[in-house]
Structures are given as C-alpha cells and as structure tokens.
C-alpha cells in the first residue's frame, strides 16, 4: 500500500487524498490526518473507489460523523435497504424517471431548508458522462472574511429564511414527491453568519435557496442577497471538480455551498451515491408571512403622517 498523501488541488480549497484503502477501516492515525485535512482543505477527493460497496461508503462516511437517515427526503430517492444513502442519478429508478436527476442545480448548502443542515457529505461517482457534469463548491469562510468589516457587522445578527421550494427544478419532479418534500420541509430560519463548531471560523450562509432576510423589505433583501450570493460564489472562492468514475468527494457543509452543473448530455448516465453526516439542529421554523414590500412601507408611513 502507498503512503497516505494529501495534495492540494486549489487555492480556495480542495485536496486529493491517496494511499488509503477505503475497503478497510481507517486506523486512528490516518483518520485523524484525514479529518485535519478535511478541516483545512474543506473539500477532499479520494480517487479509485469504483468498487466500494454501499456498506463500504457508509462505513467510510461514518469516520466523519453520524449519518443522516434522510427524514427530510422522499423515501424513493434512497437506496433500497440503506436509508443512509441518497441516490443522485439520472438513471431510471423503479421504472420511472429518477427524482434526483436534477439535484443540486442551484447554489446551496445541503439540507439548509431543514432544521438540521448537514455537517458534511461524501459523494461517490459510479457513472459519469464522457464530458461535463462537474460540481463546484464555494468557500463561505473566505466569502465572509473578505467582506468589509462594516458589511460583516451589518450581517452579523441577520437571519434568513430557507425554502425547499427554491430548489431549482423541484417542480419538474413528480407532484406527489414535491408535495412530500414540502410537507417534510416547511420554511426555516437560519443565521446568515455561522460559526464553525470545530474551527471557530465564521462563514456566510448564502445560496439560492434563501428566500429573504428577516426584517428587511423584499427589495432590500433581494438586493443584499444578490450581492452576497454573487460575492460568495465568485471564482476566487470556488473549487470545480471534474469527476472520474470512482472519485469520492467529501465536503464540509458547514462552511461551503455547491452546485451540480447540468452541462452534459442528459441521455448519458450520471450516477452517484451520497451519504450525509448529520449536522447540529440550528434552525427554527419560520413565522408565517412574507417580507413587507416597499409599497407597503410607503402606505404605512403615509398612514402615520
């Protein structure tokens, strides 16, 4: 067996880990080195795992936390007999179009539309199109730290609503599944700035599944979110992964967002298995009622004068 080696892949984040046999349990020293590399490089790539079984993926993923059993997901999107594995695939499933064929098509942090955004995830590529089908991750710690101190102070105590209906392409899926996803995931509130429980560093919880910032008008919220999302996903903060069959990509979901690009021939199979590590319960259910519009504010002020 080669020696464990960790090679950076990008400046913003990303490192490749080789020299591990993931069909065997990791010894404690290797587990620690990989865990430290995960915190440091945020996205880790483990090549050459096409033969790993579902049980092997589950066992490997458990090195990084307790696994989510996907209560927030429709059961038909999970691997038969393994609630810990979500099948992200455009292959037909159970004789029907796959309900995860367009998963991850806008910038998001996994499960931010639930009370418990994932801690991290491991995605194993079993089939990929000849070209395209890349995934991009953005480093939200960098995004936070490169805002001006004044902007950091402005957003420090802000909270935002995350909404499963903003999952791009959701409504192209089976209406019964969409109803199920909405029933399982009413809108939730999360802080805009998160503190990483292990590194203590702040990050910006941005993404395209945020509907609005609490306490602002619709217009203020849209403008600020537009700026923050553009800033957070600017190329300087992004690692783009070009998949090879057998790659496992492990990401820290507490300080990143990601997007799965639809830049490939959809007639070609793209088939991945994902385990998510359970995050801390940080959110709360959103109170009813959308943000007031500027028009409503004008009317309210007029009524006072």
Ligand X SMILES: O=C(O)CCC(=O)C(=O)O
- Residue positions annotated with a catalytic role: 108, 110, 258, 274
Q: Closer to Fe ion at the Cβ: 104 or 224? A: 104
CA distances from 226 to 77, 155, 199, 213 (A): 31, 14, 28, 11
CB of 253 to ligand X, least distance (A): 8
Partner in contact with 274, chosen from ligand X, Fe ion, none, beta carbon below 5 to 8 Å by kind = ligand X
- The strand ranges marked E within the chain are 5-8, 15-18, 43-46, 78-79, 82-89, 120-127, 135-139, 159-162, 188-191, 193-195, 202-204, 210-213, 238-241, 248-252, 256-260, 271-277, 284-285
Query: Applying CB under 6 A, does 103 fall inside the site for ligand X?
Result: yes
Query: Applying CB under 5 A, does 68 fall inside the site for Fe ion?
Result: no
For residue 247, the number of C-alpha atoms closer than 13 Å in the C-beta half-sphere is 19
Q: How far apart are CA 230 and CA 244, in angstroms?
A: 29
Query: Applying CB under 5 A, does 104 fall inside the site for Fe ion?
Result: yes
Q: Tell me which of 20, 26, 45, 123 binds ligand X, using CB under 6 A.
A: 123
Q: Tell me which of 12, 142, 193, 272 binds ligand X, using CB under 6 A.
A: 272
Determine how many CB atoms are found less than 10 A away from the CB of residue 187: 20
CB of 255 to ligand X, least distance (A): 15
By beta-carbon distance, which residue lies closest to ligand X? 104
Q: Which two tokens stand for residue 159?
A: 């909270």
Q: Which two tokens stand for residue 232?
A: 């957070």
Q: How far apart are CA 284 and CA 282, in angstroms?
A: 7
CA distances from 82 to 57, 78, 123, 157 (A): 11, 7, 15, 39
Q: Closer to ligand X at the Cβ: 110 or 180? A: 110
Quick check: helix, strand or coil at residue 131? coil
Query: Applying CB under 6 A, does 88 fall inside the site for ligand X?
Result: yes
Q: Closer to ligand X at the Cβ: 225 or 272? A: 272
Segment near ligand X (CB under 6 A), from 15-23, 64-72, 103-111, 293-301? Answer: 103-111
Partner in contact with 272, chosen from ligand X, Fe ion, none, beta carbon below 5 to 8 Å by kind = ligand X
Segment near Fe ion (CB under 5 A), from 42-50, 105-113, 186-194, 261-269? Answer: 105-113
Residues within the interface to Fe ion (CB under 5 A): 104, 110
Residues within the interface to ligand X (CB under 6 A): 88, 103-104, 110, 121, 123, 135, 258, 260, 272, 274
């Amino acid at each position: 067996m080669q020696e464990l080696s960790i090679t950076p892949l990008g400046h913003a984040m990303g490192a490749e880990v080789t020299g591990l046999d993931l069909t065997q349990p990791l010894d404690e020293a290797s587990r620690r080195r990989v865990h430290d590399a995960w915190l440091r490089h945020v996205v880790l790539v483990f090549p050459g795992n096409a033969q790993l079984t579902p049980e092997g993926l589950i066992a490997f993923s458990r090195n990084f936390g307790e696994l989510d059993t996907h209560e927030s997901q429709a059961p038909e999107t999970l691997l038969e007999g393994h609630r810990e594995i979500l099948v992200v695939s455009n292959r037909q499933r159970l004789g029907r179009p796959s309900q995860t064929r367009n998963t991850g098509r806008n910038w998001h942090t996994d499960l931010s539309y639930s009370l418990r955004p994932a801690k991290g995830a491991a995605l194993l590529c079993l089939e990929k199109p000849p070209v395209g089908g890349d995934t991009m991750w953005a480093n939200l710690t960098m995004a936070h730290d490169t805002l001006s101190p004044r902007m950091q102070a402005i957003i420090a105590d802000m909270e935002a609503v995350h909404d499963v209906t903003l999952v791009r392409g959701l409504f192209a899926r089976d209406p019964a599944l969409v109803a199920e996803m909405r029933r399982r995931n009413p809108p939730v509130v999360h802080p805009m700035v998160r503190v990483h429980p292990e590194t203590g560093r702040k990050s910006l919880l941005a993404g395209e599944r945020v509907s609005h910032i609490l306490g602002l008008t619709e217009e203020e919220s849209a403008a600020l979110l537009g700026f923050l999302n553009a800033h957070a996903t600017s190329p300087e903060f992004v690692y783009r992964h070009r998949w090879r069959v057998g790659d496992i990509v492990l990401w820290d979901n507490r300080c990143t967002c990601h997007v799965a690009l639809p830049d490939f021939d959809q007639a070609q199979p793209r088939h991945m298995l994902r385990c998510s590590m359970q995050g801390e319960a940080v959110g709360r259910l959103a109170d009813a009622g959308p943000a007031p519009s500027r028009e409503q504010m004008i009317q309210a002020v007029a009524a006072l004068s």
